[in-house]
């Protein structure tokens, strides 16, 4: 007999793990299935630093995870944006929006290992690591899932399957949901570096001829460098000696931040846009990268995914108490409708920026410089950009508002 659950979350990455933990806390019987091993067992982690917006902080706090992340979090109180070779720039400050921080940087492997620990210790939650989805059969009142390499009788049955299995979602393919795809032909090279004159609590974005380059503070002099380069140059950037790589970065940023040194391991991330053409299917819902994989230029992907999680938790929170069916079609349709505007706005914002920065017209550099000066001079525009970056453009669901009302 298959093991029975209310919900099976396929993919226990950053979004799927947070969702599974939340569902179990609301009293639902949940399995979280992931092809990977827990982060603690993996050599050579993810070197990214993820910018968590205020909206994500509120969700993670409501799930009691924020205090566990706190020792490794670095607040961002200022974001400085400037264009190489052009006058002017723009500075976004937390005090302009009356909040203590615009967001926090969290090392990606610390976030995933904190989530993995919670997955393994939350009552009502069955984590299944090293288990890839192999087969999915939709029946009228349930979905049956079989995992690769498992015994035929080791199937799972649930009333709702949640696709949190990333950009190439297997659940999405099983349901034959098409995705709109665009390859930016860019690669983000991510590495940790030291800068001699680190500015506390400040993130920097430098617009250069080959693409934007960001520095995110990790505490002390350590920074996460995210360098966007044309795809055809990625191998050259990865193979360059540490000295040559750092010399190029130094040229991009100049000497205002002091000498760049201490280059860590470099990782390449090809950048694409993938948008599922539907968010739901019979007894299924897509969240996070499975629904929208976006360009990381505005650090919105995970924050958007965690807003999916917050709203889906809101849609399902009563099911345990009332015995409601989590996979009911009207419930899923209502969820999709609630997420429509935020998805459209966020994708448009990051995609628009990506296409603008990719263009290489002679006068565009001047136009970008002028846009930064305008942004700096217009407090209303600056505040609107900041609210978007902080994830405050969309109102939070009621359960979450109640959870942070006492903050
Ligand atoms: C360079 C870079 C920097 C970024 N910086 C930021 C940032 O600062 N802030 C921000 O908000 N976002 C950022 N993002 C985006 C962010 O990383 C993603 O939005 C986020 O990881 C999405 O999480 P997810 O859980 O939906 O998907 P994923 O993280 O892709 O997780 C999917 C999970 O599903 C599992 N899986 C896949 N297939 C199967 C299967 N068949 N069976 C079982 N399991 C499966 C995988 O093992 C994985 O664990 C960045 C992205 C990049 C590339």
| pLDDT score of 23 | 98
Q: Is the C-beta atom of 103 inside 6 A of ligand 1?
A: no
Nearest to 335 by CA among 287, 399, 400: 287
Cα–Cα distance measured from residue 389 to residue 300, given in angstroms and rounded to the nearest whole number: 7
Sign of CA dihedral 48, 54, 58, 61: positive
With a cut of 60, say whether residue 61 has pLDDT above it.
Answer: yes
Cα–Cα distance measured from residue 321 to residue 313, given in angstroms and rounded to the nearest whole number: 14
- 13 C-alpha to ligand 1 centroid (Å): 6
Higher pLDDT, 114 or 386: 114
C-alpha radius of gyration, the chain, whole number = 22
Q: Is the C-beta atom of 35 inside 6 A of ligand 1?
A: yes
| pLDDT score of 383 | 73
What's the average model confidence in pLDDT over 111-140? Answer: 95
| pLDDT score of 2 | 76
State what percent of residues in the chain have pLDDT above 90.
72
Closest Cα to atom 29 of ligand 1: 13
- For residue 264, CA distances in Å to 47, 255, 354 come to 9, 20, 26
- 302 C-alpha to ligand 1 centroid (Å): 7
Sign of CA dihedral 195, 196, 199, 201: positive
- 364 C-alpha to ligand 1 centroid (Å): 32
What's the average model confidence in pLDDT over 186-210? Answer: 92
Closest Cα to atom 52 of ligand 1: 296
CB 252 within 8 A of CB 229: no
CB 237 within 8 A of CB 227: yes
Weakest-pLDDT range from 34-48, 352-366, 390-404: 352-366
Q: Which atom of ligand 1 is nearest to the CA of 15?
A: 25
| pLDDT score of 382 | 67
The structure tokens 């600056």 sit at 382
Q: Is the C-beta atom of 301 inside 6 A of ligand 1?
A: yes
First to last CA, the chain: 46
Q: Is the C-beta atom of 188 inside 6 A of ligand 1?
A: yes
| pLDDT score of 379 | 67
Q: Is 3 helix (H, G, I), strand (E, B) or coil?
A: strand
| pLDDT score of 116 | 96
- 299 C-alpha to ligand 1 centroid (Å): 12
| pLDDT score of 394 | 78
CB 225 within 8 A of CB 248: no
Residue to mutate, 146, 289, 354, ligand 1, most ligand atoms under 8 Å from C-beta: 289
Tell me the CATH number for domain 3-72+108-181+272-366+395-404.
Answer: 3.50.50.60
Higher pLDDT, 262 or 83: 262
With a cut of 90, say whether residue 309 has pLDDT above it.
Answer: yes
- The rounded mean pLDDT for the chain is 90
Q: State the DSSP string of 33-76.
A: EESSPPGGG-SS----EEEE-HHHHHHHHHTT-HHHHGGG-EEE
**Side-chain half-sphere CA neighbours of 42 within 13 A:** 16
Cα–Cα distance measured from residue 248 to residue 365, given in angstroms and rounded to the nearest whole number: 19
Tens of pLDDT, residue by residue over 78-96, are: 999 887 766 667 888 888 8
For the chain, the domains span 3-72+108-181+272-366+395-404
Answer whether 0.75 is exceeded by the pTM: yes
Which DSSP letter does residue 97 get? G
State what percent of residues in the chain have pLDDT above 70.
90
């Amino acid at each position: 007999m298959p093991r029975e659950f209310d919900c099976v979350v396929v993919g226990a990455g950053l979004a799927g793990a947070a969702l599974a933990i939340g569902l179990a806390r609301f009293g639902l019987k949940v399995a979280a299935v992931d092809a990977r091993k827990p982060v603690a067992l993996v050599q050579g982690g993810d070197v990214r630093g993820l910018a968590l917006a205020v909206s994500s902080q509120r969700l993670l706090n409501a799930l009691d995870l924020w205090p566990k992340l706190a020792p490794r979090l670095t607040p961002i109180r200022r974001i400085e944006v400037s264009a190489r070779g052009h006058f002017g720039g723009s500075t976004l400050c937390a005090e302009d929006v009356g909040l203590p921080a615009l967001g926090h940087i969290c090392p990606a492997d610390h976030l995933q290992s904190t989530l993995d620990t919670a997955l393994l210790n939350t009552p009502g939650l069955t984590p299944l690591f090293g288990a890839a989805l192999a087969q999915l059969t939709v029946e009228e009142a349930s979905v049956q899932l079989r995992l690769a390499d498992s015994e035929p009788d080791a199937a799972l049955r649930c009333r709702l399957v949640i696709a949190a299995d990333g950009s190439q979602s297997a659940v999405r393919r099983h349901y034959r949901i098409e995705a709109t795809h665009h390859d930016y032909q860019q690669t983000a090279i991510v590495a940790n570096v030291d800068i001699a004159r680190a500015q506390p609590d400040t993130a920097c974005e430098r617009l250069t001829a080959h693409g934007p380059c960001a520095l995110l503070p990790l505490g002390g002099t350590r920074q996460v460098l995210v360098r966007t380069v044309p795809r055809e140059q990625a191998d050259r950037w990865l193979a360059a000696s540490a000295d040559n790589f750092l010399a190029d970065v130094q040229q991009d940023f100049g000497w205002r931040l002091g000498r760049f040194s201490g280059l860590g391991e470099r990782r390449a991330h090809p950048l694409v846009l993938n948008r599922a053409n539907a968010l739901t299917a019979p007894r299924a819902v897509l969240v996070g990268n499975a629904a929208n994989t976006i360009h990381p230029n505005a650090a919105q992907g995970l924050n958007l995914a965690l807003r999916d999680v917050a709203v889906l938790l809101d849609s399902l929170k009563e099911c345990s108490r009332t015995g409601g069916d989590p996979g009911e079609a009207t419930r899923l349709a209502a969820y999709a409708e609630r997420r429509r505007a935020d998805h459209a706005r966020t994708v448009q914002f990051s995609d628009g920026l990506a296409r603008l920065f990719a263009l290489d017209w002679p006068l565009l550099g001047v136009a970008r410089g002028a846009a930064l000066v305008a942004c700096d001079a217009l407090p209303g525009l600056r505040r609107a950009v900041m609210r978007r970056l902080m994830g405050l453009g969309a109102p939070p669901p009621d359960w979450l508002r109640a959870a942070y009302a006492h903050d």
